[in-house]
Amino acid sequence: MAFDVIMPQMGESIAEATILKWHRKVGEAIGKDETLYEISTDKVDAEIPAPLAGTLLEILVSENQTVPVGSVVARLGDANEKPVGAPPAAKAEETSAAPVSAAAPHAPVLDHDNSLEGRLAAKSSPLVRKMAETHGVDLQTVKGSGQHGRVTKSDLEAHLAQTPIKSLPQAEVPPAPTLPPASPAVPAPVPGERVRMEPMSRMRKIISDNMVASRRTSAHVYTVWEFDLTHVARLRRRNQKAFQEAYGVKLSFMPFVMAATAKALRAFPVVNAAVEGDHIAYKLDINLGVAVSLDWGLIVPVVRQADQLNLGDLARALNDLAERSRTKQLKPDEITGGTFTITNPGVFGDTFGLPIISQPQVAILGMGAIKKRPVVVTDEEGNDSIAIRETMFSGLSFDHRIIDGAVADQFMALIKKELETSDFGLA
């Protein structure tokens, strides 16, 4: 007996998903909970397991095709059942606008109302409609790339990237310079030039749109500080073995930075805030996003209520989220709701970076490489000497709409003090 495989709901605000890859071909067997296919949404990429063991009888949605949540994407059967037919072609340019197979029932319409509001609701997710309302965008003016013209988050962000900002007071703020379109035309190759062209992945497109939108939204300003991590390095060396036995993970520098940052965010709540129109939304929870580099892009899982966790809990939470990021096991709720982000390009040897703020946050901390450097050290009697210290340059990007330079520097000064003097609950 055939069993319908349904596109799952991966989050409250997610109404559609794109199938990236099928892990089984029609006619092949699969066990329960083995990966059947991969999907991509506006928030997360994920591997979807088979709901039961059996044989893949039919594939109804091609790779690179976007369909609404609730659509039937495939059918499974018993081991002795034979496939219904061959799978559809997997060429992205042919399937991106192709309808779901006729054998698959149509996904339920989100809203049966024939009013303007009802029609817009049927062609956009709650997240997209909220974003459109926030930015004052008429969704009728946005061209949708989803199935049946559905407006996706990427469609709206691309529209915003090409639309002049209207909310700034013109009497006080000069007009912003016109930015190039989000997707400029590809220049013709120079004669004799050797070029290999390939389309952006869905994740790369989302990152691209988000970064352009952030630069248009926030008034980016930067401050760079040097932190002496010699004290932290000693704590790590002294406690590494006992820490790993107690918590099951190695003690890296990142949990120290997270703990110090969480304390500074509690002391300076405006850095943990967001801008909503003419209001400042002070977030009562401190949810730290930590950027994780993947082979196919970048993702920022969130450690919730980080200020309530000790060093060991921070390390375990970070390790767990990073591992599941790389295996595509994160849930949508685990990459949303961040109030502040930390990124660590220093792991690749970077001296320091000036990262772009992750909207709707108002600041982001970049960690540089930790290196031994000669530093002038002054003792209690005022005598100077040169010593070898383990230091790190750290850059804070902040939104000058609500964070002044003095506040940003006080925030960084507190992080510096914590990293250079606190015992972080260790012996």
359-401 pLDDT, tens digit per residue, is: 999 999 999 999 999 999 998 899 999 999 999 999 999 999 9
At 181 the pLDDT is 53
Domain co-membership, 382 together with 405: yes
221-239 pLDDT, tens digit per residue, is: 999 999 999 999 999 999 9
At 32 the pLDDT is 87
Domain co-membership, 45 together with 137: no
Domain co-membership, 21 together with 117: no
At 112 the pLDDT is 39
Indicate the angle between helix axes 153-161 and 202-217, nearest 10 degrees: 40
Give the CATH number for residue 404: 3.30.559.10
Give the CATH number for residue 19: 2.40.50.100
Domain co-membership, 234 together with 382: yes
Longest dimension (CA), the chain: 86
At 335 the pLDDT is 87
Using the CB atoms, write b or e for 235-260: b if 16+ within 10 Å: bbeebeeebeeebebebebbbbbbbb
Indicate the angle between helix axes 254-267 and 405-421, nearest 10 degrees: 130
* pTM of the predicted protein model: 0.63
At 427 the pLDDT is 66
Phi/psi for 279 (5° steps) reads: -120, 155
Domain co-membership, 306 together with 337: yes
Residue 36 DSSP SS3: strand
Q: What number of other Cβ atoms are within 10 A of residue 400's Cβ?
A: 13
Domain co-membership, 144 together with 45: no
Residue 375 DSSP SS3: strand
In the beta sheet, which residues pair with residue 287?
none
Number of domains within the chain? 3
At 101 the pLDDT is 40
Domain co-membership, 82 together with 154: no
Domain co-membership, 238 together with 213: no
Question: Using an 8 Å Cβ cutoff, are 306 and 314 in contact?
Answer: yes
At 321 the pLDDT is 94
Question: Which residue stretches of the chain have pLDDT < 50?
Answer: 86-87, 89-122, 165-174, 182
Domain span at residue 77? 3-95
Q: Starting at the earlier edge strand, list the strands of the sheet with 3-6.
A: 3-6, 72-77, 54-59, 29-30
Residues present in the chain in total: 427
Structure tokens at 81: 């059942």
Q: Which residues are catalytic?
A: 400, 404
